[in-house]
Amino acid sequence: MALPCAWPRCGCCLAMGVPRDFNVARRSASVILEVVACKREARVTETKPSWLIEHGRIVDPRQGVDRVGRLLIAGGIIAAVDPCDGDLPPDFTRIDARGCMVAPGLVDLATELGEPGREEDETIESGTLAALSGGFTSIACAANTDPPIDTATAVEFVRQKAARADRCRVYVIGCVSKGRAGEELAEIGSLVEAGAVALSDSPRPLSNTALLRRALEYCLMFDKPILDRPEVTSLTRGGVMHEGMMQLVLGLAPMPAEAEDLATSRDLRLLETTGGRLHLNSISTAGSVELVGRSKKRGTQVSVGVRIGNLCFNEEQLRTFDSNYKVNPPLRSAADVEACLAALEDGTIDVLTSGHQPKSLEKKMQEMDAAPFGMSTLDTALAQVITYLIIPGKLSWKRAIESLSCAPAGVLGVEAGTLAVGQPADVVVIDPTATWIVQRSEMSSRSSNTPLLGKELQGRARQVFVGGRLKFSLKSPVGLAPG
């Protein structure tokens, strides 16, 4: 029995005809799918507590809301904004959100969860917990597992593990090509039927132009986006960092900006011919920004994302030879970062992604050449945005929430990214003033490959609700900055 959905509250079991009084014990325990279905059904019928979040600043860019108010969560949904006392349910818990932001839960567009195959880096359990502590209520799991997510079975595996972990929502990204090999189309129809919300071979770029064109055309049937990370790999082979002055001084192998620009240009040009939906998952150069801006002006249906790390850091950081700064797309020049920030603020760039790539310590504790690309970001994502982008005035709260929640939800085509009444109550209460020191012990991700260890950040998710259930609460923050 294929499950149409992994949401705890979707009611799909009911739709499939699973009776409300369905008893697990009467069925064979080996039919795992059905047991899971049953557990989930039990959850649908459980009574959900009500919450009244008071005194917080409600930020919902999709509705154009930004004011202090009250938010009532009941029955798993946003029940009311600024309800009268008379409309409150008989039993609810008050949350004092004074000084905090109340925003739609964050949505991450491509998170590496490591499972199956790379459990030493991350598991669905640890990754979803890290997501919650970073304020994310929904994440899309990247397809670069081992084996990759190129079959319906693989999609279902991730969804069931996610349902069992029962933390944030996990959407699944399927492969564009069989085995992520970039040669033949994967069975995209089956992947979509199994629940894949997008298709991508990321972090591997879609180098095969004919394949990308075919995939864009084929996906017209399913209205699902293709996510590509633009890179001409023949220009970056063996590369470690952005080609530029710092690279020249350090002697590390170069990854020139034009490797990204050329691929961006190709992707956009193909999209103009095929139509369909293309999302460039992580651009990083001023050149890409300019190309995307022009293409959007012509009316192309392209959306674009940038990684938080690519905005918080630049090539200068490589001087430390800390392999945690080795990421792809690489940390670019200050001018590139500035261009990306401006594009994010003006809407040319739609989405901020975590770019979460957990890598175990033993993999990162190698020479720069040998260490894999990647930075573990989920735990710190929100705090990084606040500390490095919002506080210095480089990004507005409105655009931050838009690009971290509304826009990615739109790209995935899922019900999230808004606090509209009647929507599933995926809500994050953000304390923008809490300072904390990033410590290994405080990270939920199984990998702590972040250069931020030991650094002080400001801002943190205080409460996270998923489907009206309190899934994360920062009760006794440890590692608070002294004073």
Site residues, another protein (CB under 8 A): 237-238, 244-245, 248-252, 320-321, 362, 365-370
Nearer to another protein, 444 or 450 (CB): 450
| Per-residue three-class SS string for 356-411 | ECCCCHHHHCCCCCCCCCCECCCCCHHHHHHHHHHCCCCCCHHHHHHHHHHHHHHH
Nearer to another protein, 207 or 396 (CB): 207
- Sheet of 169-174: strands edge to edge? 106-111, 136-141, 169-174, 196-200, 226-228, 278-280, 302-307, 351-353
Question: In sequence order, which residues have a C-beta less than 8 Å from that of residue 254 and are 6 or more positions away?
Answer: 236, 239, 240, 241, 242, 243, 247
Nearer to another protein, 69 or 239 (CB): 239
Closest CA to 431 of 450, 458, 407: 458
Nearer to another protein, 15 or 370 (CB): 370
- Report long-range pairs for 473-477 (Cβ below 8 Å, ≥24 apart): 474/133, 474/431, 474/434, 477/434, 477/436
Taking the complex as a whole, the smallest distance from the CB of residue 449 to another protein amounts, in Å, to 15
Nearer to another protein, 21 or 367 (CB): 367
Nearer to another protein, 20 or 321 (CB): 321
Q: What are phi and psi of 235, to 5 degrees?
A: -90, -10
Nearer to another protein, 240 or 337 (CB): 240
Taking the complex as a whole, the smallest distance from the CB of residue 322 to another protein amounts, in Å, to 9
> In the block, which residue shows the tokens 């460039």?
280
Q: Output the six-digit token pair for 177.
A: 């090509």
Nearer to another protein, 72 or 252 (CB): 252
Taking the complex as a whole, the smallest distance from the CB of residue 235 to another protein amounts, in Å, to 11
Query: Are 192 and 215 a contacting pair, CB within 8 Å?
Result: no
**How far apart (Å, rounded) are the C-alpha atoms in residues 372 and 359?**
8
Query: Are 385 and 114 a contacting pair, CB within 8 Å?
Result: no
**How far apart (Å, rounded) are the C-alpha atoms in residues 105 and 96?**
18
Q: CA end-to-end span of the chain, whole Å?
A: 56
Taking the complex as a whole, the smallest distance from the CB of residue 374 to another protein amounts, in Å, to 17
Residue 248: Cβ-neighbour burial (10 angstroms; 0-12, 13-18, 19+): exposed
Taking the complex as a whole, the smallest distance from the CB of residue 318 to another protein amounts, in Å, to 8
Nearer to another protein, 223 or 369 (CB): 369
How do 456-466 and 427-437 pair as beta strands?
antiparallel
Closest CA to 466 of 73, 88, 146: 73
Query: Are 430 and 391 a contacting pair, CB within 8 Å?
Result: no
Per DSSP, helices labelled H in 237-356 are 245-250, 257-274, 286-297, 308-312, 334-346
Taking the complex as a whole, the smallest distance from the CB of residue 48 to another protein amounts, in Å, to 49
Taking the complex as a whole, the smallest distance from the CB of residue 244 to another protein amounts, in Å, to 8
Taking the complex as a whole, the smallest distance from the CB of residue 123 to another protein amounts, in Å, to 24
Nearer to another protein, 1 or 245 (CB): 245
Nearer to another protein, 85 or 362 (CB): 362
**How far apart (Å, rounded) are the C-alpha atoms in residues 139 and 113?**
10
**How far apart (Å, rounded) are the C-alpha atoms in residues 116 and 180?**
15
DSSP label of 185: B
Taking the complex as a whole, the smallest distance from the CB of residue 328 to another protein amounts, in Å, to 17
Q: Output the six-digit token pair for 229.
A: 């990370």
Taking the complex as a whole, the smallest distance from the CB of residue 203 to another protein amounts, in Å, to 20
Taking the complex as a whole, the smallest distance from the CB of residue 361 to another protein amounts, in Å, to 10
